[in-house]
Structure 1
């Protein structure tokens, strides 16, 4: 059965094996960006020991500027933060906020209208930290079972709807639930004209790893709007049995297309066992 555990490693790999793939699909433009940065602590001088690996997917809308900006800057804010790496959760939170604030300032100066959702993971030897804005999502799989670790920021979420309305905005149906009738996500980097209704405040979670975790998937809504977590787990198991890991992310992108996705699709898979 596909829930069979993968073989355990004696030690956490110094740099986890991973697979990444991105595709424009049938859209006119590619507005996704993704980042894979093993040993991100080496980006700036850092007196702390240990290895920290950074993975991120940014899904732009209204142009690629916000996604490109986040892909270029968020990890820099993370590693330069005085709390990194002793308090990664705080550093990751503030990195999202700084990236959003700086891009909003840039957008106002340059009359840019773009925004971007984002999901970022920071992986150390025994901890996983996830931060996100919008509906790009992360999936952790443990013992062949998908573990729900986050809830996307959508306007129809009761808490998000209340926050938006309390600020004077509105959530209306126009093919999907939308902030002020336009945006279908309630938090994002950028979207300067929709602040504060579209918030730049991320949610975060931190997980202590036990060594039983199989893999982590980060992807934009081009995957998650068409494929369930259970479908991803089954697909990964079947693919690993027959075709190995090199084309794993590419095969998940193909699964999304076969399931009806017409959006840009970006997928990162980080293997936590050999």
Structure 2
């Protein structure tokens, strides 16, 4: 890591040689005007990672810098950043929740980040190694024909580094959120769910319980923000945590994840849809109903039966996530996460063939059309999600589309396996 880190730190401290001055514009904008102390954790990490990514920082270094800066921030007395109570504020709520002025406290966080970068540039410390398993991740998202883009996603191979976890298995976290009625709920979940997950004591011993608790806690946190800011949006979500040889997937609603092993799609989950028999029964037992209005809807409103947010339809639209765990045997190809804008147009059984098509080497037109271009594995992998999204759009999807493919083996190994399989099939036919 040090070989990559030093050149970046040199450039970073040239741009930020000293603390940001009071009143000067921030290099990146905070997500919110006001935050609770609990929300400060996720929003600071998001802000720091966004700043560092825009400057081309190595991912592992970004995680370590943000974790160190946040630790220093939380040691400060933050009472000077408390928001003054405004006329008309809910007295009872104000006594329970202290709000911080986001821009002011985030300036302090960014200054802590600059301080850490300056110190490490002078004397780079010893740190735990980067994740032992490098996972190539291909992701692409489009607004498509919708008026707004309401999807959010997060790929975090450096989960342990970001949260200072030095014991237990290396973790990698990936998530896709499909918002509706606005982007607020999806942005909130993408900012806070992984933070809530990192704080669960059962994360190593009982990941399913940790995931369910984290989803529920994120929904409860968003309820407070939605009440304060009069927000009405909701979001489905699917999140994957990979710990050594264990893959856990947790979900709310109809965003999905599938695993591909030896070229075969494996079902990991059953999406929550209003017409799913057990979901329909749950809603009716609560006194709600399922009606068909172009698609099946809960009480004639939302087309999803579980989500973060949608508080006007709780508990019919449940905030309780489901989770499944799969043991990785070492022969897995990849795991794919996507919103319903993809899966409404593409069947899971089609995915392996589409991915292999996307992985085929590009051809050099100047070489007569039959000479493969030399490309790195990263370059080859990154185009996969783009081609999957394009296929879903061509197949008729008009919704926002987000696709994330996390490769669990080297891409060249996938191509080699497919080539060997094709040779064996040809020999058998002859």
Match of 2:264 among 137, 145, 148: 145
* Mapped partners of 2:279, 2:150: distance in 1: 25
Name the residue aligned to 1:170: 289
* Mapped partners of 1:47, 1:161: distance in 2: 44
Asked if the contact 2:185–2:222 (Cα under 8 Å) also holds between the matched residues in 1, the reply is yes
* Mapped partners of 1:171, 1:223: distance in 2: 24
Unaligned runs of 5+ in 2: 1-130, 363-379, 411-430
Name the residue aligned to 1:269: 405
Q: Secondary structure at the match of 2:274?
A: coil
Match of 1:39 among 158, 162, 165: 158
Matched, 1:68 2:204: no
Match of 2:393 among 257, 269, 273: 257
* Mapped partners of 2:148, 2:209: distance in 1: 34
Task: Name the structure with the higher helix share.
Answer: 2
Name the residue aligned to 2:168: 49
Name the residue aligned to 1:3: none
Asked if the contact 1:104–1:191 (Cα under 8 Å) also holds between the matched residues in 2, the reply is no
Alignment of 1:1-274 (within 5 A): 14-243=133-362, 244-274=380-410
Asked if the contact 1:48–1:85 (Cα under 8 Å) also holds between the matched residues in 2, the reply is no
* Mapped partners of 1:251, 1:128: distance in 2: 25
What displacement does 1:257 show?
0.7
- Alpha-carbon displacement from aligned partner over 1:157-210 (angstroms, at most 9, x marks no partner): 110001001111110010111000011110000001000000000010000100
* Mapped partners of 1:86, 1:194: distance in 2: 34
Asked if the contact 1:149–1:205 (Cα under 8 Å) also holds between the matched residues in 2, the reply is yes
Asked if the contact 1:96–1:202 (Cα under 8 Å) also holds between the matched residues in 2, the reply is yes
What displacement does 1:125 show?
1.6
Unaligned runs of 5+ in 1: 1-11
Name the residue aligned to 1:4: none
* Mapped partners of 1:113, 1:257: distance in 2: 28
Q: Which runs of 4+ in 1 moved over 4 A?
A: none
Q: How many residues are aligned here?
A: 263
- Alpha-carbon displacement from aligned partner over 1:74-113 (angstroms, at most 9, x marks no partner): 0000011122233222211111010111112221222111
- Alpha-carbon displacement from aligned partner over 1:2-40 (angstroms, at most 9, x marks no partner): xxxxxxxxxx96221110111111111110000001120
* Mapped partners of 2:166, 2:132: distance in 1: 22
Larger gyration radius, structure 1 or structure 2: 2
Asked if the contact 2:138–2:384 (Cα under 8 Å) also holds between the matched residues in 1, the reply is yes
* Mapped partners of 2:166, 2:334: distance in 1: 29
Asked if the contact 1:219–1:268 (Cα under 8 Å) also holds between the matched residues in 2, the reply is yes
Say which is worse superposed, 231-240 or 132-141, in terms of deviation: 231-240
Task: Name the structure with the higher strand share.
Answer: 1
Q: Secondary structure at the match of 1:245?
A: helix
